[in-house]
Structure 1
């Protein structure tokens, strides 16, 4: 069975066009960490950490953008049913994660919470800083993107020895 994937240049161009069109049509930069904060703010309205001003309601583009990410993945998976199957294989991460499913779930949830906290603390996630902030030549985003990718390279080297 042959698996077809998008050419990296086509995917990069599509992402770049989405960032530009999102800003052009809505007047707001794209990014999903604010939508995640909005979702948490709706679920836990008394927690001040999740309050993000005017966006803490259902009528905001960031929340719908966040919801669209898994829906888009589902549509993609269902449209390529011949090359897609459900799997719990974690690839390279099998080497560093615990072996039981419950321990993996706890570890991944904890990691996701750390990522969410870091994104909220930094004012945006890697998508917001590197793609959107980078496209807008925002100096803080360019520095944050460089720090994110440098940290990822160092962490990957420490975990896997690449």
Structure 2
């Protein structure tokens, strides 16, 4: 038992938390996926903006709003790490976006033609957290492999 555990439980000591809306939760998962190798390049940020910009979920988001959202998520990711941001995202990600989230995450992972062990582990964690069926996972992976082949 840690020294401050009883204070955390009683609410006298607040752990660093982040509350995300549905769009932010989706973006957080994508940010974690893209930054899985520990580095976030300008090309990856551009790809992420392009992918999210084509979605209905982000149509009303201006460039400034997107930038502020990624600044918020990136700061939390640097401060608290992947696991804390992942848990916050999964707590608020709408169930009707689970398959979409996995599909786009898989697409982003496959975009560079290689799947690192970290990326594969993150996709596995995503499948587990969303309790996607193996058939659904296999279908999504198969389609994304075809999409990214050429």
TM-score, normalization by structure 1: 0.28
The structure with more radius of gyration: 1
TM-score when normalising by structure 2: 0.29
Q: Which gives a bigger RCO, structure 1 or 2 (Cα 8 Å, sep 6+)?
A: 2
